Amino acid sequence: MKKPSSKIREEIAKLQEQLKHAETKEAERIGRVALRAGLGEIEIEETELQAAFEELAKRFRGGKVGTSGRKGAGESSTSSGQSEALASGAASGGTPEA
């Protein structure tokens, strides 16, 4: 039996909330590590910091191509928003918000 569209919308809303929560936890974890490493005290442009994080991610992926590990990440506002929140949180010394 097919699900009604309203049920599918409810499931999508729940999954989006779960994704938002998971991304927030990931951003906070990475932000804490970045602060402990001293990135909060460094004056650096967000674009430079994001590029450095992308290089670091590439290093830990074994040199695989891609910046966020997600298909079509360049088109996703969520993944870039998380990177921007992380970069601004780390650069300002505050906790990142996603």
Tens-digit pLDDT profile for residues 4-19: 999 999 999 999 999 9
Rounded to whole angstroms, the Cα distance separating 24 from 17 reads: 11
Closest by CA position to 46, among listed 59, 36, 34, 58: 34
Tokens encoding 78? 């969520």
Tens-digit pLDDT profile for residues 33-92: 999 999 999 999 999 999 999 999 999 998 755 544 444 444 334 444 444 444 444 444
Residue by residue, DSSP assigns 14-47 as HHHHHHHHHHHHHHHHHHHHHHHTTGGGS---HH
